[in-house]
A and B are shown apart, each in its own frame.
Chain A
């Protein structure tokens, strides 16, 4: 399904704007965007997917982490035009059919958050980590999420949440949650 998003590009030069096709959480969007538009602003302000947070805005904290073709990226540090033709998954795309993703469930069960600001990015990094390494050690988890900062938890329960999700995903029958 393609959704033609309102054209709001305001660039003075014709080359400063561009039409992009981006598949976000399974839905393909056709949008005219300023080339300077950051991916995180495209997601939050154009598509109204505000689950992706802006933290430091300098590519340090990881709150804006999304998956681009399955690989974690800091969406405050990419231009929307750079994901033209690619597939983006945000935190809104984790839940399926009213059922939480095992990583979401892990963060709930293990109390993997306090204020919740880092959580969307933390979960996207976790999803990618577990896809690559279904049974990570604590050290591998800590290294894997080292691009994501949390100022509340001290990471202990985040590690537990990811371990919970890893176990759950290995137990799940193929094709299940």
Chain B
């Protein structure tokens, strides 16, 4: 299959990329790792007039932890994020998810920014960033702004970015003492999108109960979903069977999957119920120092 013809630009700075996006208002797509976009071009699901290839922009690939954030450059490859010691030690949800996106070869090119921003409800990182309450830093012609992940996704492949804005960095709030997180993905086979997947973050109070929680869901709605009611219901709980039942039910209620070859609606909702329980349990265990 051949992609349709397009104009190609390979800017070497974010400013230049923004200028090109501005010049092509709405007609251009940003090419990051290309692992979703090139397939969509081949299938004519996307036919942009221009591609702005940001692979040549230096300094967009890094994972740094400072006093407030884990800062992830938008062009960090998914395998690079997985290899980060900080991620392995303190951001279990990202460590888990980056081991299960597509397959290891695709993860060599696929980027964190691309996966986060692309907008396919099957992308795995959006649910993680929703659960983590991350924010995306976007640059446009008038400067940069930060957008909460929980306010970013409006519909499938649709977000609040202006056509001349580009996400350059992801800010994950620095892992607090007593925090733990996990991601569980039910997939039919390596390389498939999730049938259902759940991201959970918790921070425990001194008495062992949950002080703060976030639950994100993958591929059970038009976008990744933040299960607010389920997250709130987890606060103050310790993860008993009753707690897990309540939270699992609320997460399943937040899901609005469609029936497809991965299963019918009831099945997917039930998988969210079950996988939420299990993932909350894993996140709490990690918060207590387990792996």
A and B from one assembly?
yes
Residues in chain A within 8 A of chain B (CB atoms): 11-13, 15-16, 18, 34-36, 38, 41, 57-60, 62, 65, 71-74, 77-79, 81-82, 84, 125, 143-144, 146-148
When chains A and B are docked, how far (Å) is the Cα of A77 from the Cα of B190? 17
A90–B7 alpha-carbon span in the complex (Å): 28
Extra inter-chain contacts (9) besides given A16-B7, A36-B41, A77-B34, CB under 8 Å:
A15-B7, A15-B50, A16-B8, A35-B7, A38-B2, A72-B108, A79-B38, A79-B53, A144-B104
Neighbouring B residues of A78 by C-beta, 8 Å:
34, 38, 109
Residue B51 interfacial (CB < 8 Å): yes
For the complex formed, measure the closest distance between the CB of A105 and the CB atoms of chain B, giving whole angstroms: 23
Residue of B nearest to A82 (CB): B55
| Chain A residues whose CB sits within 8 angstroms of the CB of B8 once the complex forms | 15-16, 18, 35, 79, 81
B55 partner residues in chain A, CB cutoff 8 A: 82
Closest to B8 in A: A35
Given A65-B105, A79-B34: A147 and B191 within 8 A (CB)?
yes
* Complex CA distance for A58 and B34, rounded to whole angstroms: 12
A81 touching B10, Cβ below 8 Å: yes
* B42 near A62: Cβ-Cβ < 8 Å: no
7 contacts between A and B (CB under 8 A): A38-B3, A58-B39, A60-B103, A74-B106, A77-B109, A147-B105, A147-B106
Give the chain A neighbours of B104 by CB distance below 8 A.
72, 143-144, 146-147
How large, as a class, is the contact surface on chain B?
A: 20 to 34
Q: Which of A38, A57, A73, A82 contacts B105 (CB 8 A)?
A: A73
Q: Does B5 contact A (CB under 8 A)?
A: yes
Question: Does B26 touch A at the CB level, under 8 Å?
Answer: no
Residue numbers in B under 8 Å from A16 (CB-CB): 5-8
Who on chain B is nearest to A145 by CB? B104
The contact string, 1 if C-beta is below 8 Å from chain A, for chain B 2-30, is: 11111111100000000000000000000
What CA separation (Å) do A57 and B42 show in the bound complex?
Answer: 9
A15 near B9 with CB under 8 A, answer yes
Cross-chain contact B35 with A147 (CB below 8 angstroms): no
